[in-house]
């Protein structure tokens, strides 16, 4: 059973990985940093522990042939979901 904070109803001690991506050369590297910041704040607000961060730059989301995305999947298979309970993305 998952323990929840009575005030927020968020799971306590949840471990999470972050995945960030932008799709074309015309976007800025800051786009990734902005996504990471938003995801970190989301995790912090909920008391989640970040166990890993995966970032793909200039890779389309139409395909899963993205190096860090594939590494995240491999880690999940090998380590049991990255030693995490969830993956955070910024939509």
Number of H helices, E strands in the chain: 2, 3
pLDDT values of the chain reduced to their tens digit, one per residue, 91 residues: 455 555 555 566 688 899 999 877 555 667 889 999 999 999 999 889 998 999 998 777 778 889 999 999 888 888 765 566 788 988 6
The overall pTM is greater than 0.85 = no
The C-alpha atoms of residue 7 and residue 61 are separated, in whole angstroms, by 36
C-alpha distances in Å from residue 8, one per residue of 4, 37, 51, 79: 8, 21, 22, 30
Q: In terms of C-beta density within 10 A (0-12 exposed, 13-18 middle, 19 or more buried), how is residue 22 classed?
A: buried
What pLDDT sits at residue 1?
45
Phi/psi for 11 (5° steps) reads -65, 135
What pLDDT sits at residue 55?
93
What pLDDT sits at residue 76?
81
């Amino acid at each position: 059973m998952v323990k929840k904070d009575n005030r927020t109803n968020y799971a306590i001690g949840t471990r999470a990985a972050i995945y960030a991506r932008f799709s074309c050369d015309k976007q800025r590297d800051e786009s990734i940093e902005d996504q990471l910041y938003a995801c970190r704040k989301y995790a912090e607000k909920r008391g989640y522990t970040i166990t890993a961060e995966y970032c793909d730059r200039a890779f389309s989301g139409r395909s899963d042939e993205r190096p860090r995305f594939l590494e995240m999947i491999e880690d999940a298979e090998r380590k049991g979901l990255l030693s995490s309970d969830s993956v955070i993305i910024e939509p």
